[in-house]
Amino acid sequence: MLRTKVFRGEEIKVLDEATGRVSALVSSEKMDRDGDVIRAEGWDLSNFRKHPVLLSSHDYHSLRSQIGVWESMEVEGSQMKGVARFFIGKGNPEADWAFELAKQKALAFSVGFIPNMEKAAPLNEKDVLGTGGMEFKGQELLEVSAVTVPSNPDAIQRFIKTPNLHPVVREIAEEVMTSEETEIDEDAKDTPSVSETIIDIIYERVMARVGEMIAPAEQMEAEVETPVEESETEDEVTDEGDEVVSEFDAYSVALNAAEEILSELEGYDE
CA distance 219 to 108: 48
pLDDT tens digit string along 177-206? 776 554 444 444 444 444 445 555 655 665
Q: Are 168 and 72 in contact (CB under 8 A)?
A: no
CA distance 52 to 184: 38
Give Cα separations from 10 to 102, 107, 251 (angstroms).
11, 9, 43
Instruction: Tell me the pairing of strands 79-86 and 134-136.
Output: unpaired
pLDDT for residue 89 is more than 70: yes
pLDDT on residue 45? 97
- According to DSSP, the residues that pair with 134 across neighbouring strands are 122
Q: Are 183 and 174 in contact (CB under 8 A)?
A: no
> What percent of the chain is modeled with pLDDT above 70?
59
Q: Residue range 110-122: average pLDDT?
A: 91
Give Cα separations from 123 to 31, 37, 38, 120 (angstroms).
10, 8, 11, 9
Instruction: Tell me the pairing of strands 13-16 and 21-28.
Output: antiparallel
**Is the full-model pTM beyond 0.75?**
no
Least confident of 34-43, 148-157, 237-246, 250-259: 237-246
pLDDT tens digit string along 243-265? 444 455 556 666 676 667 666 65
Q: Residue range 148-158: average pLDDT?
A: 68
CA distance 172 to 98: 14
pLDDT on residue 238? 45
